[in-house]
Amino acid sequence: MPRRTATMLASTLMLFALLCAGVFIRVPYSEMSPGPTVNTLGDSHGEPVLNVSGRKTYPTSGHLNMTTVRVTGADYDMNLLEAVYGWLAGDNIVVPHENLYPNGKTDQESTQENAEEFSQSQQSAKVAALKQLGIPVSARVIVASVVKGSPSEGKLHAGDVIRAVDGAPVTAPDDVAKLVTKHKPGEPVEFTIVPAAESAEAAKAHREPTGLTKVTIVTGKAEGDGHAIVGIRAGTDHTFPFTIDIKLADVGGPSAGLMFALGIVDKLTPEDLTGGKFIAGTGTIDDAGKVGPIGGIQMKTIGARQAGAKYFLTPAENCAAAAADVPGGLTLVKVSTIDDAVKALQKISKGDTAALAQCTKS
């Protein structure tokens, strides 16, 4: 066999062996890529994303798009060839599997967690938006969840409103733990509550819940330091003066909070906040209107630009990462609060873009 032919054959066989190895060698990585974007001022699957009833709303234009990231599932077993392709592909990111699914988290656990965070983000978006508009929103402490097998199981229920513990008024979720831990394990503690059913009826009627019930629970003992516990997680619920429905399927996590809040503000404001411009963004939001960082920022800016966005509202803590690789034609606008975001929209609408706070690499 001629030497040239033998060399080509050996090279071909080696390449084939490498490709086979790339297919069969598994690596502990996952992939992130740009996901779909949805206009919070528009429709999704034939239904409005935001629907307000019981309050006057105003016409809107343009886009206020929330953005998403696609990730491979917890059970996805990436091979070396896919990892190399992901590293080389411009629109994808390959990250350690542990970053997305820490401590062996399953798909089901991740989906449940994302659903809970998404639901909470909707509540906080409503609160932040109404506060931004000066519309009063009342808050109350509730039983967010009950630990199975705990002293509270069967006595307290998710949705119960906690008015007092041992007669001391409860005004914040942290108050519950502080009052319970004043006891020793095995001692009784008295909760004054409004049952969840009455609370739900009150919410439908946009009124504060009434009808107090007293429940006595014998405290248990926590693992570790052995402090007294009752086995609940306290949270916050709100009474809104009118109905705001947020409907968006197949989306999870808290990162759409800012864009939901801005969509609500736009619908309830006579002024057209976007001026017909295509604006996208991301960021968590809390009840006070503070915007928090999110994951996958570069995937979201890519997805936004591919959808047609010209401006991207970026959480201040994500600015440096986002600015490291900005898609062409996209302006990154730095925001720390919902008030920052509303003022930025007003500047964009009026064409005063030189005054925008923009993200930089440092």
**pLDDT band (50, 70, 90) for residue 71:** confident
Q: What is the 3-state secondary structure (H, E, C) of 280-332?
A: EECCEECCCCEEECCCCHHHHHHHHHHHCCCEEEEEHHHHHHHHCCCCCCCEE
Q: How far apart are CA 253 and CA 113, in angstroms?
A: 8
pLDDT at 209: 83
Judged against a pLDDT cut of 60, whether residue 13 lies above it is answered with no
Lowest mean pLDDT segment, chosen from 72-86, 135-149, 265-279: 72-86
Reported as a single tens digit per residue, the pLDDT across 157-211 is 999 999 999 999 999 999 999 999 999 999 999 999 999 988 888 878 878 888 8
pLDDT, position 85: 63
Q: What is the C-alpha to C-alpha distance for residues 347 and 117, in angstroms, rounded to an integer? A: 31
Q: What's the mean pLDDT when you consider all of the chain?
A: 88
User: How far apart, in whole angstroms, are the C-alpha atoms of residue 217 and residue 79?
Assistant: 53
Q: Supply the pLDDT for residue 187.
A: 97
Q: What pLDDT is attached to residue 80?
A: 66
Task: Decide if pLDDT at 127 tops 60.
Answer: yes
Res 330 pLDDT > 70 = yes
How much is the pLDDT for 78?
66
Q: Nearest 5 degrees, angle CA 207-CA 123-CA 268?
A: 80
> What percentage of the chain reaches a pLDDT higher than 90?
66
Output the pLDDT for position 23: 52
Q: Cβ contacts of residue 290 below 8 Å, gap of 6+?
A: 336, 337
User: Phi and psi at residue 67, in whole multiples of 5°?
Assistant: -125, 155
Residues 222-239: tens digit of each pLDDT: 988 999 999 999 999 998
Cβ distance 115 to 252 under 8 Å? yes
What CA–CA distance (Å, rounded) separates 87 from 100?
17
